[in-house]
Structure 1
Amino acid sequence: MSSTRHTYDYVVDTASQTAPANVIRMVGQHKRVLEIGCGPGSITKLLAQQGQCRVTGLELDPDAIKLVEPYCDAVMQADLNAADWPQLLDSTERFDVVVAADVLEHLYDPWTTLKRMVPLMSPEGYLVISLPHVGHAAIAGCLMTGDFDYRDWGLLDRTHIRFFGLKNMEDLFAQAELKIVEARFVTKPPEDTEFAPAWSRLSSQVKSALSSSPHAHVYQVVIKAVPLSGPGEPVSLIPPAPVDQLLPSVSSVKSRIAARLSPQAKLRIRKIFGLFRVRM
């Protein structure tokens, strides 16, 4: 076997506020877990070892399957872009928790895939999903510099084919007849992201404008969701009016950005974000 480290093999500090650490905490302990897109087991092994969970994994990459097998009760090769992948679990007991950590953005139809996850939960079960946030200020900064560079990991992982703003995430769960009952924002200032070099080339005025959105530093979102009839009050990813009073309103943010950007820059931002159909 090659000694080269798998792209998605990483160390998780469970005391941190990273997305994987939040996923592990949100899953809890002593659960029967279905981890969809488990990769080489960066999260899986901690669910099994520290959380004492029993994990069933679904994964496409055969190299990753070999690495994750020791931490799973069972692991199956599955193509989530195919319609029949849930049939792999027909003879399996329903799960306490269904996890998809940074998976949906890699799929052609994440909306249908999320719907297909729902019947795999037990009646008291829940989903834990993490998603990258395309509305991060660093992404807007890349658009400003014309350097929209795909990478092997991060917000612009070259295998990402779907992009979500906070409103799009809410819509994703709503169309699957799910309600969000808990959410954790993973925040990073642009200078601490993989886009730091592009960010450093922006003027201080542009940096200030792009960072003025209340969600400009949200890098990832970790979400716990249940069916609409399940327990818990729904949580909005975009704070309702009482909380908005503590933050700049959308209209005021747009006004500040408009005041600081040239007409050409504003047109460029509108055109490019229009391609993603994403609201910042």
Structure 2
Amino acid sequence: MSSKYEFDFDPAVTNTSHGLVVGVIPAGSRVLDVGCAAGYLGDALQVKNCTVHGVELDEEAAETARTRLASVVVADAELLDYKAQYGADAFDVVVLADVLEHTRSPERVLEGALSVLTETGTLVISIPNVGHGSLRLGLLQGRWNYTPLGLLDETHIRFFTWDTLQDLLVGAGLSITDAWMTTADPLATEVDIDPAELPDGIVDWVRGQPLALGYQFVLVVRRAVAGETPRRVEPVPAGSAVVPPESPSLLSAREEAEQLRRALTDRDDELRTAKEIISLQEVTALQDVQALRRSITWRVGNGVLAPARLVARTARRLTSTKS
């Protein structure tokens, strides 16, 4: 039976923790993949000429991983004596991809990983964000439902926000070199949310909160130099969170667009009606003039006024000739 943590992924896609982890490990590195599952990360790293060893608790997954990696030790990541197993300076990189949240003492795992790193070696860590917007919305509805995988994986026993993760690393004597976060919209995850039960505008408000779109954090960390104050950083978004088709914000935008469309249609109808009224009035006025000219009153009045117009024109000519 394959591990539930077996993933097919494209290393070129950076808005995934797996793609980011593979991307930041230098080619030709000696790598220890703690919690290697069936060895899918190590398999991708071999394309970069890395030599990858694994640690895995699940024996069946470890058996599969052995076909992909240089070696695999079946052990609990918290209890393994890393230095006795591999020796000091054995690795350039230790990968802790989605591992620390499964342990009671992540500090112990970090200590063991550091014991086998070279002096300039790095840890590459990925970890879910318990402050993601989906969990915030779920809690507003009184929901904290575990799932087989994801932010509330049923085997998670530790939960981290960005701040508490940094506290853990600083306490372990580590300094963050680089940090990213994969992104996901609060309504586009496996977390159980009913948008229809939420107050108007609350989803968009949550979307705008700091780091609320961060689904997982991916970090490169190193030993802090003696006397160094470990710097605190902000993770860089690895992609854009895609808003699902039926999200409240999109529905609201569609409704607004429909209202504008209807308003424009109404204005067009009003303009068309006004033009028709003006045209009708112009036609009516012209018909009235023509009818007047044909009337007896018009003909009589015109006949009375014609001699007067003739006298006036004659007087103007005589005045012009005298001058």
> CA separation in 2, counterparts of 1:229 and 1:200?
51
Shift in Å, 1:91: 4.3
User: Is 2:132 the counterpart of 1:161?
Assistant: no
Structure 2 residue 92 is the aligned partner of structure 1 residue 122 = no
Task: Report the Cα offset of residue 87 of structure 1.
Answer: 4.8
> Secondary structure in 1 aligned to 2:45?
helix
User: CA 1:86–1:200 in structure 2 vs 1: closer, same or farther (change >3 Å)?
Assistant: farther
1:23 — aligned with what? 21
Q: Is the 8 A contact 2:138 2:192 kept in 1?
A: no
**Shift, 1:37, TM fit:** 0.6
1:92 CA displacement? 6.9
Q: 1:90, 1:219 → 2: CA distance? A: 33
Which amino acid is 1:28 matched to?
A: P
Report the secondary structure of 2:153's partner residue.
Answer: coil
**Letter matched to residue 187 of structure 2:** E
**Structure 2 unpaired stretches of 5+:** 236-323
Q: Which residue of 1 aligns with 2:62?
A: 65
Alignment of 1:46-125 (within 5 A): 46-48=44-46, 50-82=47-79, 84-91=80-87, 94-125=90-121
The question of whether the paired residues in 2 share the 8 Å contact of 1:99 and 1:128 is answered with yes
Query: Aligned partner of 1:29: which letter?
Result: A
Show structure 1 runs of 4+ deviating over 4 A.
90-93, 232-235
Q: Which residue of 2 aligns with 1:145?
A: 141
Letter matched to residue 194 of structure 1 = E
Listed as ranges, the gaps of 5+ residues in structure 1 are 240-280
Question: How far is the alpha carbon of 1:208 from its aligned partner?
Answer: 2.6
Contact 1:78 1:85 in 2 (8 A): no
Query: More helix by proportion, 1 or 2?
Result: 2
SS in 2 for 1:190: coil
Determine the C-alpha separation between the residues in 1 that align with 2:76 and 2:179. 28
Q: Residue 9 of structure 1 aligns to a residue in which SS?
A: coil
CA–CA distance in 2 between the matches of 1:45 and 1:36?
14
Q: Tell which structure's C-alpha radius of gyration is larger.
A: 2
Matched positions, count: 233
Aligned-residue Cα RMSD (Å) equals: 2.1
Q: Distance in 2 between matches of 1:142 and 1:52?
A: 43
Q: What does the per-residue CA deviation read over 1:146-195, in whole Å, with 9 as the maximum and x for residues that have no partner?
A: 22110110000000000001111111110110100101111111122112
Is 1:12 matched up with 2:9?
Answer: yes
Deviates more, 1:5-14 or 1:175-184: 5-14
Identity of aligned residues (%): 32
TM-score (norm 1): 0.77
Instruction: Check conservation: 1:154, 1:194, Cα contact below 8 A.
Output: yes
